[in-house]
Amino acid sequence: MTAALEAWRQEERRDLATIEFVDVRKHYHQGERHVRALDGCSLRIEEGEFFSLLGPSGTGKTTLLGLVAGFEAADSGEVLVGGEAVRRPGPDRALVFQAPNLYPWLSAVDNVAQALHARRLPRRQRREAALAQLAEVGLADAAGRHPYQLSGGMQQRVGIARALAMDPRVLLMDEPFAALDAYVRQEAQALIVALWLKRQVTTLFVTHSIEEALLLSTRVGIMAAGKVADVLEVPFEHPRDPTSAEFNDLRRTIHERIEAGVRNERRAR
Ligand SMILES: Nc1ncnc2c1ncn2[C@@H]1O[C@H](COP(=O)(O)OP(=O)(O)OP(=O)(O)O)[C@@H](O)[C@H]1O
Ligand SMILES: [Mg+2]
């Protein structure tokens, strides 16, 4: 990386941010039905944390993420990033979804460079930054390839490179590895841990896999009925051993709490 680029990065580098939800409500209409997607949801994620959300389908995980991203507004309550109310989407909050949504007509490097448009850098520097970012996700050799020439795992890494190239204060990921097969998924998990250890960007990660949440996170939140019903610390150092007794104990505890949430919800209906 050139000195100029490094200086730009330092200068542009914003502080990491907290994410806060204070008694947030958000409902949707589905025909005649009134769905409470978030129902008095409160949560505080510290700067530099890796926080995972688990919970059955329809408990409001994606809704919560969308409010942090600024795609939608809450009906009531507060959504704060770095102590400031979220009003609209912005480059300080980067997103990675299950589908990487790359531009098929652009090469990997141009897909990443495209995300840097808002930075008003000269074209050459944008490209240089995009190449550096691709190298960071292990794709230096694939920079010139188009999405159709990349495997699913590689495409998702381009998606991650695109998100990180923006130097976000907050990284939002909604089941990013759900479509990957087991081995590629493990590689992607190892990459995201390495990147987080290096940069410590505040990360909010949605997954259906208890094991994935325990491999990656500093804390895990369990969603039930539009609330973060439970929060557990993950006290293990990286790299983590999913076969260890402590890991399995915590996996069982989380499994039981998710099940308890499901039972409570059934009873409430
Ligand atoms: N745009 C929308 N219009 C109408 N209803 C919606 C909309 N978005 C979400 N919902 C409803 O709000 C509830 C919460 O949805 P959400 O997508 O946040 O759940 P989720 O926890 O992400 O589920 P999954 O694990 O299946 O992704 C669901 O009942 C869903 O059907
Ligand atoms: Mg979802």
SS3 (DSSP) at 234: coil
Q: Give 36's contacts (C-beta < 8 A, 6+ positions apart).
A: 25, 26, 27, 225, 226
Alpha-carbon distances of 7 from 1, 2, 10, 93, 195, rounded to whole Å:
10, 9, 5, 22, 20
Ligand 1 lined by 207 (C-beta under 6 Å): no
List, for residues 95-142, the tens digit of each pLDDT value.
999 999 999 999 999 999 999 887 788 899 999 999 999 999 999 999
Query: Percent of the chain beyond pLDDT 70?
Result: 95
Ligand 1 lined by 26 (C-beta under 6 Å): no
List, for residues 189-208, the tens digit of each pLDDT value.
999 999 999 999 999 999 99
Specify the domain boundaries for CATH 3.40.50.300 within the chain.
3-92+168-268
Mutate to test the pocket of ligand 1, among 33, 62, 207, 228 (most ligand atoms within 8 A of CB): 62
Residue 255 has pLDDT above 60, yes or no: yes
List, for residues 35-60, the tens digit of each pLDDT value.
999 999 999 999 999 999 999 999 99
pTM over 0.85, yes/no: yes
Q: Given CATH 3.50.30.30, say whether it is the number of domain 3-92+168-268.
A: no
CB 119 within 8 A of CB 55: no
Element (H, E) at 246: helix 245-268
